[in-house]
Amino acid sequence: MKEPLFSAKNLKLLTGPLNLNNPITVQVLGICSALAVTVQLKPAIVMALSVTVVTGFSNLIISSIRNTIPPRIRIIVQLVVIASLVIIVDQLLKAYVYDVSKKLSVFVGLIITNCIVMGRLEAFAMAEKPWRSFLDGVGNGAGYGLILIAVGFFRELLGSGKLLGLQIIPHFLYEMGYKDNGLMILPPMALITIGIIIWIQRSANRELIDKS
């Protein structure tokens, strides 16, 4: 009997990485770009989408050809697939969202070296069927993106008083002496924000806390 496309087992591939198996807060992968592109919300969203597209489709492609890949050159094959997808994403961004692509600068190219992408290929796509691999890729990309967007939200709100470039903190507060927190727009604060998110997540999910 054929398994339905969105069976409970398949859905778990999508939702697992959002919380209990999150690539950033639990596996602590992909931190570098999470610090760099989260000063504002818009680049964070575009980066989240880009990574999701790359993880999803590289998982799909590798999984579809997994039985033909000679094990001796499998890492090379994986890298070629990832690199091609990233280049395509980068070219598309340059053509259609030029201002954001300038802000993301080298970090789109660096998706190639993002540990999440290759980690999923090695750990999942090389052994699983294409559809399940695709879901796993999208789920991990989304888990990464979720944290990026959360960090970007707080950094832009508290650092510049804006969201997506629109002024959120009202003017009268500035007149009363409120000031944007300059530290929020520097990388250290991204790390601290991620730390706080990890803290909240672990307090809410007891199973994530080490027994020792």
For another protein, the binding residues (CB under 8 A) are 39, 68-73, 76-77, 80, 84, 87-88, 91-92, 94-96, 98, 105, 182, 185-186
Closer of 120 and 155 to another protein (Cβ) = 155
Tell the smallest beta-carbon distance from residue 95 to another protein (Å): 4
In this structure, what token pair is assigned to residue 150?
């959360």
Closer of 112 and 208 to another protein (Cβ) = 112
Residue 67 sits at the vertex; the CA angle it makes with 66 and 68, to the nearest 5 degrees, is 90
Closer of 179 and 211 to another protein (Cβ) = 179
Tell the smallest beta-carbon distance from residue 1 to another protein (Å): 34
Tell the smallest beta-carbon distance from residue 63 to another protein (Å): 16
Alpha-carbon Rg for the chain in angstroms:
19
Query: What angle in degrees, to the nearest 10, is found between the helix axes of 8-15 and 130-160?
Result: 30
Is residue 134 within 8 A of residue 60, CB to CB? The reply is yes
Phi-psi region of 200 (alpha: psi -120 to 50; beta: other; left: phi over 0): alpha
Element housing 163 (H / E): strand 162-163
Closer of 88 and 127 to another protein (Cβ) = 88
Tell the smallest beta-carbon distance from residue 180 to another protein (Å): 9
